[in-house]
């Protein structure tokens, strides 16, 4: 699929995986529209050239629809949408303060799973309006799962449930959208050196890196972005969740 000259939508674009993906796609010749919460955008670094940052809560229809309308107005066909927005609070089902907060569980599922589905469905509708390429393809949607979808650790009940939902959604979405020439893939990252990791000390980060088989380090956000570009180039990949984890299988804790 041709990225150059197309429009791309990236959520969670203020930092981490989303920022790295937006920057790489822009360097590849796409006009990138990055969505994130307004508070996140206020603290974000200046965007890369050819990246337009827009405030949007992915769990709400109106701001995502407005971003897609802006893409339509610029006459560049939307060919790629990448769902990077997500949250990862930790809580045990039974903790010292009692049962897991139901509101927290709902919030995690709302952002990670419902938000992903919201962007997926609206992006698919926009892609379906465009003319297909010479191979009949109109676009690609990439979701972000996690290896926690398969090996959730202690304290990850909400996060694991949401990311397992993303992984499960991907094949069904690929089948649903096949008639429209739209592929759907997911990436399941392992331990990535994102701003979320900055809360840990160097000692903790080193201990985490030591659990990775090889390469024995944390992944870089740019490696996630590179995988996005690879999936866009490989037209026969569809409906699959690709692990990016250096052979890591998470222990219970």
Q: What is the mean predicted confidence (pLDDT) over 59-86?
A: 95
Q: What is the pLDDT of residue 112?
A: 98
Confidence check: pLDDT of 219 > 70: yes
Listed in order, strand segments (DSSP E) in the chain are 7-11, 31-36, 51-55, 78-82, 94-95, 98-99, 139-144, 182-189, 241-244
d(CA 244, CA 227): 9
Q: What is the pLDDT of residue 46?
A: 87
The rounded percent of the chain whose pLDDT value lies above 70 is: 100
d(CA 22, CA 51): 7
d(CA 171, CA 175): 6
The confidence band for 199, taking pLDDT boundaries of 50, 70 and 90, is: low
Question: Right CATH number for 7-243 from 3.90.1150.10, 3.40.50.720, 3.50.50.60, 3.40.1080.20?
Answer: 3.40.50.720
Confidence check: pLDDT of 12 > 90: yes
Q: Does the annotation mark 33 as catalytic?
A: no
Beta pairing class for 94-95 and 98-99:
antiparallel
What are 93-128's pLDDT values in tens digits?
999 999 999 999 999 999 999 999 999 999 999 999
What are 124-175's pLDDT values in tens digits?
999 999 999 999 999 999 999 999 999 999 999 999 999 999 999 999 999 9
Q: What is the pTM of this model?
A: 0.95
Please state, rounded to an integer, the average pLDDT across all residues of the chain.
95
Catalytic residue, candidates 33, 159, 224, 236: 159
13 or 44: whose pLDDT is higher?
A: 13
Q: What is the mean predicted confidence (pLDDT) over 55-63?
A: 97
Q: What is the mean predicted confidence (pLDDT) over 214-227?
A: 96
d(CA 58, CA 70): 16
Confidence check: pLDDT of 89 > 80: yes
Q: What is the pLDDT of residue 53?
A: 96
Select from 224, 221, 223, 219 the least CA-distant residue to 208: 219
Confidence check: pLDDT of 74 > 90: no
Confidence check: pLDDT of 64 > 80: yes
């Amino acid at each position: 699929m041709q990225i150059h000259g197309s429009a791309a939508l990236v959520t969670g674009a203020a930092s981490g995986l989303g920022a790295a993906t937006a920057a790489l796609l822009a360097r590849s010749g796409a006009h990138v529209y990055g969505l994130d919460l307004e508070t996140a955008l206020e603290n974000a670094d200046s965007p890369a050239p050819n990246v337009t940052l827009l405030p949007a809560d992915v769990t709400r229809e109106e701001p995502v629809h407005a971003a897609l309308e802006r893409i339509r107005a610029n006459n560049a066909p939307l060919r790629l949408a990448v769902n990077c927005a997500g949250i990862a609070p930790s809580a045990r089902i039974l903790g010292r303060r009692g049962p897991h907060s139901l509101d927290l569980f709902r919030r995690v599922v709302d952002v990670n799973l419902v938000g992903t589905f919201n962007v997926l469905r609206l992006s698919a509708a926009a892609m379906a309006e465009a003319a297909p390429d010479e191979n009949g393809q109109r676009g690609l949607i990439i979701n972000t799962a996690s290896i926690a979808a398969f090996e959730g650790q202690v304290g990850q009940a909400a996060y694991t449930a949401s990311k397992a939902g993303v992984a499960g959604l991907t094949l069904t979405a690929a089948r649903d959208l096949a008639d429209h020439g739209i592929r759907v893939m997911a990436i399941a990252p392992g331990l990535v050196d994102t701003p979320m990791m900055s809360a840990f000390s160097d000692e903790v980060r080193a201990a985490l890196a030591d659990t990775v088989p090889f390469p024995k380090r944390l992944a870089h956000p740019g490696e996630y972005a590179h995988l996005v570009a690879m999936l866009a180039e490989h037209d026969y990949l569809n409906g699959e969740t690709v692990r990016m984890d250096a052979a890591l299988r998470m222990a219970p804790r």
